[in-house]
Chains A and B, each alone.
Chain A
Amino acid sequence: MTVYVPPGQPGSVVSYEPRYDNWIGGERVAPVRGQYFENVTPVTGQPFTEIARSTAEDVELALDAAHQAAPTWGKTSVGERAVVLNKIADRIEQHAERIAVAESWDNGKPVRETIGADIPLMVDHFRYFAGAIRAQEGSLSQIDEDTVAYHYHEPLGVVGQIIPWNFPLLMATWKLAPALAAGNAVVLKPAEQTPASIMLLMDIIGDLLPPGVLNVVNGFGVEAGKPLASSNRVRKIAFTGETTTGRLIMQYATANLIPVTLELGGKSPNLFFADVAAERDAFYDKALEGFTMFAFNQGEVCTCPSRALIQSSIYSEFLGDAIGRTEAIRQGNPLDTTTMVGAQASNDQLEKILSYIDIGKAEGAKVLTGGHRAEMSGDLAGGYYMQPTIFEGDNSMRVFQEEIFGPVVAVTSFDDTDDALKIANDTLYGLGAGVWSRDGSRAYQVGRGIEAGRVWTNCYHAYPAHAAFGGYKQSGIGRENHRMMLDHYQQTKNLLVSYSPNAVGFF
């Protein structure tokens, strides 16, 4: 067990600077209007650094730098770009502990997650796309004996990326690694709730990229995000967030006739079939952990398994064991490596979760455990902590239909496979799902029947680089991860070539 010293205090592995400017053209650039905003750590509720409060002028500067860099970067050989991505991965790996502690401080998530998941996954994603871009090949089609269609991958040019606050560095990596691998220059706008860790990362990796290839502009959505999303100087915009902003970004993209990828969340069902409880063995234990995954990252995951559907014949016993497993969660100081659940990322996020506890109860859902703000002592008293909470109710209730984005799961039962699929698919969203069964055929059939882009089968919350991730229904458009992600950042150039010396004969 280790308890990390908070960043900036004597003995800490990492320190934030008192103020961060933007990162434009390979250097720190102060915001044009000279404004900054305080950035708070959700661990204690106290500010720890100031961040550039950028406006449209700063976005334009970043776009200038990106446009200057894009033509050269786009023509760099894939071998050279792969080397750069691998160097970024190596550098992150060398500084993994520092970055992990810094990320916990900015976001509130437990350091055991940043050390065990967020940062190693960043490293792996950069390495994956370094490999994927070298392995990617164009194609040719023999149209007839003398005519050939060649297909080349070309970068889009300059792209905009708007990053969420739940995995500030990993979500930035999901978008950056394929975009950079494909040869694009990027203007990236972090979430204003978690703007600091990416600046620390730029100090660590910034020298590895040619100036202007990656530009980071911080600020509020309405002041900095909107000018980027509505700019006619980006060839694509990528966004992770919620549906209203997703629609607005698509609306801006419509005006500029550019593509979007949108990842907009879900209300993911986690299905437990009766055979899970056939034995009290390692698999049963794994399934209980799978249930408890709703509390992973404080529930602030787009794919949070926030609806647990348990077959009626095992409902009481499985749920009883699941409550026990949930109550065994260690919550507390995110910088303690034994802590499993840390702080919600912001005060308003905590307030929103509490408002859902209210409406859940009002609708008749029963709180089986949790249901309150978790009171902490000492420095943590001002932080934003929520007890892991289990609701029991009906799928029509709002707590079953809306993404609470907290450590809250809504539980109900199902009778058979048809019933399970009916409930699982009765949602506006379709991002993730989980299926737990010892019967491979059933798991396959149910997995294919669920309208969601990712169905974890006898596992949950695994995010390998080479598995496609994205939503059905209102959960979004496009995919992230996997080699196919390169397509979202590339144009197809077709050279249609005739090798015949003879006229067609039309004229």
Chain B
Amino acid sequence: MNAEPAVARDISATGQVAGPVPRVELSDTAAALLTELTKVHGPLMFHQSGGCCDGSSPMCFPDGEFLTGPADVRLADLDAHLPQPISFWMSASQFEYWEHTHLTVDVVPGRGSGFSVESPTGQRFLIRSRLFTDEESERLISVTRGG
């Protein structure tokens, strides 16, 4: 079920003049929360949800808990200064509607969301989006299909 490693550690790519442009990044508060959650749950992964209720939110699971496959793409390996990067996945069909947007995983006070591991903390991961510029669009890190 594992995909090939993504091209770069995304945060380190930020700001490089002609380097690859990451599709997903972490806010500082998200990185801090992921550090805390890793102590409890071990290495983590994200899968971006769609649909109702808590949909359109990133769900955070122990790495490997959610089985990804050919119907998914991996957009990033996020660097939260942890021993293992945090993979960020989305269904390939959803990605077709999202691929022109840059995503930042942020944190807001909140309550619960599916089986995402942060819900007992009173915090909730949230996606903030912006459009890629034309210039960025030419240098985007390519996504990897699940396998």
Interface residues, chain A, with chain B CB atoms under 8 Å away? 37, 40, 53, 164-166, 191-193, 220-223, 225-226, 229, 240-248, 251, 263-266, 300-302, 346-349, 351-352, 355-356, 358-359, 362-363, 396, 398, 401-405, 428-429, 474-475
Contact = CB atoms under 8 A, between A and B. Distances in A.
Nearest to A221: B115
A484 B23 CA distance: 45
B120 interface: yes
Nearest to B46: A244
B111 A346 contact: yes
B115 A398 contact: no
B112 to A, nearest CB: 4
B147 interface: no
Interface residues of B, number: 41
B8 interface: no
B121 to A, nearest CB: 10
A425 B127 CA distance: 26
A222 B117 contact: yes
Given A240-B53, A242-B54, A243-B49, A193 B112 contact: yes
Contacts of B130: 358-359, 362
B110 A346 contact: yes
A244 B52 contact: no
Contacts of A53: 120
Contact of B49 (A165, A244, A355, A362): A244
13 contacts: A220-B120, A242-B51, A244-B49, A244-B50, A245-B114, A248-B61, A248-B66, A265-B52, A300-B53, A358-B130, A398-B97, A401-B97, A474-B50
Nearest to A475: B51
Interface of B: 47-57, 59, 61, 65-67, 91, 93-94, 97-98, 101, 108-117, 119-120, 124, 126-131
Contact of B108 (A245, A265, A348, A404): A348
Contacts, number: 164
Interface of A is mostly: mixed
A241 B52 contact: yes
Q: Which are the 3 A-B pairs with shortest beta-carbon distances?
A: A265-B52, A348-B110, A242-B55
A405 B49 CA distance: 13
Given A265-B52, A403-B56, A192 B128 contact: no
A362 B131 contact: yes
Contact of A355 (B48, B119, B120, B128): B128
A242 B52 contact: yes
B120 A428 contact: no
B110 A347 contact: yes
A59 B76 CA distance: 36
Contacts of B112: 191-193, 220-221, 346
